[in-house]
Amino acid sequence: MAEVMDRPVALTIGTAGHVDHGKTTLVRLLTGTDTDRLEEEHRRGISIVPGYAELELPGRRRASLVDVPGHERFVKNMVAGSTGVDAFLLVVAADDGVMPQTREHLDVLRVLGVEQGVVALTKTDAADEETVELAHLEVEELLELAGISAPVIHASGATGIGKDELLRALDALARRTSEGRSSDGLVRLPVDRSFVLKGIGVVVTGTLWSGEIQIGDTLHTTSGHRLRVRGIQNHGRPAEVAYPGARTALDLSGVEASEIEPGDVLLSRPVPETRALDARLRLVEGASPLRHNVRARLYHGTRSTNARIRLFDREEIAPGQNALARLTLEEPMVALSGDRFVLRSLSPQVTVGGGTVLDPAPVGRRPDPEWLQALESGDTTRTVPLALARSPKGGMTDEDLSLAVSVPPKEARKAAERAPEIAKLEDIFALREEIEAARKRLVQALRKRVDERPESRALSVAEARTATGLSSGLADALLASMNDLRVTDSGVSLPDANEAPPELEEEAGKLRRRLHDAGTEPPATEPTPALRLLLKRGEVVDLGANLFASGKVAETVLEEIKMACREQGEVSLAGFRDHLRTSRKYAQAWLEYADTQGVTRRVGDVRVLTRRYR
C-alpha cells in the first residue's frame, strides 16, 4: 500500500467555532499536531492564523484539517482558511453553548457552500449533564435554522471522549467526497505564506484548490512570473505530487521572495485577473438589508478587497434572500465561474452574506440574463455554445471553455464535440456559422484580388487572416483546414493563382519586348497589371521615377558598373554617363539602382563597390 503522504487527500475539513471553545485542543487530540504555531498564539491562548494538520481516518483515507481562528478580530483569516474546504468540524463548548462567533462562522461556511460536516460538543467533562443537554439542544436548533443536517458528537479534547466516533463520522464524509473529487484541470494554489528558507530558497505555502502539482512543473503568477517547482511537501513531509485539498509547501525557482506574497495565486497556465464579477449574492439571516450601490469587503481565497455592489433588478436584498449583482473590485483578483466568496459590511464589520461567481469577465454595461441563467443551470449543452457566441471571432480551446463554464476540460470538450452548431479546427472550437462566414469572406477577398490584381493573385498570410475577420490563432487553423486553397509561408491563393489570364500574358509579352528594345533608356511607364506581373517574375526592374527596365538589360548594366569600378577604383555620374552614352537622367537612375541592389555605395560625388563585389 502507498505511504500516507503519497495518497490523494480525500477531504479538507475546516474547524469553526467561538474563541476558546477548544478547537485547537480537539485538533491536537485527533491529529497529534499543535496548530498554534505562532508565539503570540501560545501566549494569548487563541488561534490568530489558520493552522493545518494531516488526519489519518479509519478507512486509510487522508484528510487535511484546517484549524481556523475563532476570535472575531481574525475572521479574515477564518475566511482564508475555510475557502476551499469540503466539510466543517463545528466546535461548540458544552459549558458555553452557541455564541455569536459560532453563528458567524457557520454563516461563512454556508455562503462558501460548505454545508456538510460534524459538530463536536466539547468540554463535556467540564459541565454537568443538564448543561450539556441544553447546549446540545442549542446546537440542533442552530443547525435546523441553517437547514443543515449534521451529527452532534459529545467530546472532550482533554480526556479523549468522542474521538473514535468523530473519526468515524469524518471518514464517512471523506468517502462521499473523494468519490467526486477530480484532479483534472487548472492548478490553483492561493498563497497564504511566502518566505526564504536558508539552504533552499523561496518557499510558498497554501491549500491546493484544484489540479495536481509535480516536481519540475512550471507555474505562473498573475504578474507574469514563470516559476519552476523544485520540491514539494505535503503537511511537512516530502512528496512527489501535491493533490487537490493537500496542505502544500513548494520550493520554487525563478522568483524573488519580494515578487510573491500572500494573496497571490499560482496557476498552471496564465489566467487574467478581473476587476468585475457577475454573481448570485445571498444574505444570511439576521443581516441588515443590502442596498444597491453599497460598498462591502469581499473575501476570496487568501485575498480580500473592497467591492461596489450593483443589483440588477432591485434596490435591496432582504436577509435570507438572494439576487443577481455586479461587483466592481477595487483591486484585481483571479476568480473563476463557480467560485464562492464572503461579504462583510465595512461598518460594523460583520458577515452579511456571500455569493457564487457566475461570470468573472462580464462584458457590456448590462448583464446578459440568458448567459447568467445558463451558468447557474450548469447545463453544458447551453453554456458551451453561449460561451463561444461571446467570443465568436476568437474561438476557444477545451481549457478556455473549462474556465468559462466551470467544468473539467474533458467535459467541456465532450459538450463541444456533441453540439452540431460547433465546429473544431485543430484544437480550437468555434460556432460553425462563424467559421463558414469567415471562409466565405476569405474566398471573396481572394476573388477580388484576382479581379483587381491579376498579376499578383495571392494574399499575404497577414492579409488572409484579416480577410477572415477571425483572431490570428483561429484564422491560421481555418487556413490549414481549407484544402481548396494554396497556402504557403509567402501567401494564400486560389488553386489557379499562378496562371495569368491569356490577355494579360499577351500584354506583358509586348511590354517586355518594348522595354528590352529600349535598352538603357527605357520610357516612363505607368504601373499596369502587365507591368506588375513582370516585376513579380523578375523580368523587369524598377529604377524609380516611373522608369522600368528589362531585367536582362539591368544585369548587363550592373556588370559594366562593377567593371568600371574595378578598373578605376570608383565611378562618377559624369563618367558613367559618358560610358553609357546617355543622358544624366538615365545615368543617375542606373547608379541609384546599383546602390539599392547593394552593388555600390556613394562616397561624396562618386560610387565605389561594396565589400561583397570588390
pLDDT at 207 over 60: yes
421 and 385 Cβ atoms separated by less than 8 Å: yes
Average pLDDT value for residue range 573-583: 91
Residues 342 and 392 in one domain: no
Domain tally, the chain: 5
520 and 580 Cβ atoms separated by less than 8 Å: yes
Which candidate, 436, 437, 442, places its Cα nearest to that of 494? 442
Instruction: Give residue for cell 497589371.
Output: 529
Residues 48 and 89 in one domain: yes
Answer with the one of 309, 342, 370 that is the final residue of a domain. 370
Residue 603: CATH number of its domain: 1.10.10.10
Distance CA 152, CA 146 (A): 15
Distance CA 334, CA 267 (A): 10
Task: Classify residue 375: in a domain, yes or no.
Answer: no
Task: Classify residue 327: in a domain, yes or no.
Answer: yes
Is the backbone peptide bond immediately before 454 cis, with ω within 30 degrees of 0?
no
Task: Classify residue 121: in a domain, yes or no.
Answer: yes
- The DSSP bridge partners found for residue 340 are 356
Distance CA 476, CA 61 (A): 48
Is the backbone peptide bond immediately before 289 cis, with ω within 30 degrees of 0?
no
pLDDT for 41 equals: 32
pLDDT for 9 equals: 64
Give the three-state DSSP class for 272.
Answer: coil
Answer with the one of 341, 370, 399 that is the final residue of a domain. 370
For the stretch 527-561, pLDDT in tens is 888 888 888 888 999 999 899 999 999 999 999 99
Residue 232: CATH number of its domain: 2.40.30.10
Phi/psi at 333 (nearest 5 deg)? -155, 165
Secondary structure, 3-state, 352-399: EEEEEEEECCCCCCCCCHHHHHHHHHCCHHHHHHHHHHCCCCCCECHH
For the stretch 250-269, pLDDT in tens is 999 988 888 898 889 999 99
Residue 57: CATH number of its domain: 3.40.50.300
Mean pLDDT of the chain: 86
Task: Classify residue 12: in a domain, yes or no.
Answer: yes
Which candidate, 47, 91, 51, 92, places its Cα nearest to that of 70? 47
Answer with the one of 499, 531, 547 that is the final residue of a domain. 499
Residues 134 and 246 in one domain: no
Phi/psi at 36 (nearest 5 deg)? -80, 95
Percent of the chain whose pLDDT exceeds 70: 90
Residues 19 and 120 in one domain: yes
Q: Look up residue 371 and give its three cell numbers.
A: 448567459
pLDDT for 75 equals: 52
410 and 184 Cβ atoms separated by less than 8 Å: yes
Task: Classify residue 225: in a domain, yes or no.
Answer: yes
| 592, amino acid identity | E
For the stretch 16-63, pLDDT in tens is 888 788 888 888 888 876 544 434 333 433 332 446 777 888 887 878
Residues 30 and 158 in one domain: yes
Residues 251 and 281 in one domain: no
pLDDT at 515 over 80: yes
Residues 486 and 509 in one domain: no
3-state helix, strand and coil shares in percent for the chain, rounded to the nearest 5? 35, 30, 35
Containing domain of residue 549, as a range? Answer: 502-613
Query: What angle do the packed helices 432-452 and 461-468 form, to 10 degrees?
Result: 130
Residues 105 and 54 in one domain: yes
Whole-prediction pTM: 0.72
Q: Look up residue 316 and give its three cell numbers.
A: 435591496
CB atoms within 10 A of CB 185: 21
307-341 as b/e, with b when 16 or more CB fall inside 10 Å? bebebeeeeebeeeeebbbbbebeeebbbbbebbb
pLDDT for 414 equals: 96
Residues 155 and 18 in one domain: yes
Residues 462 and 572 in one domain: no
Which candidate, 208, 218, 201, places its Cα nearest to that of 257? 201
Task: Classify residue 427: in a domain, yes or no.
Answer: yes
Residues 255 and 168 in one domain: no
Picking from 121-130, 170-179, 456-465, which range would have the lowest pLDDT averaged per residue? 170-179
pLDDT band at 483 (very low <50, low <70, confident <90, very high): confident
Q: Look up residue 18 and give its three cell numbers.
A: 467561538
Task: Classify residue 229: in a domain, yes or no.
Answer: yes
Average pLDDT value for residue range 441-462: 84
Distance CA 71, CA 604 (A): 86
Residues 123 and 17 in one domain: yes
145 sits in which H/E element: helix 129-146
Task: Classify residue 376: in a domain, yes or no.
Answer: no
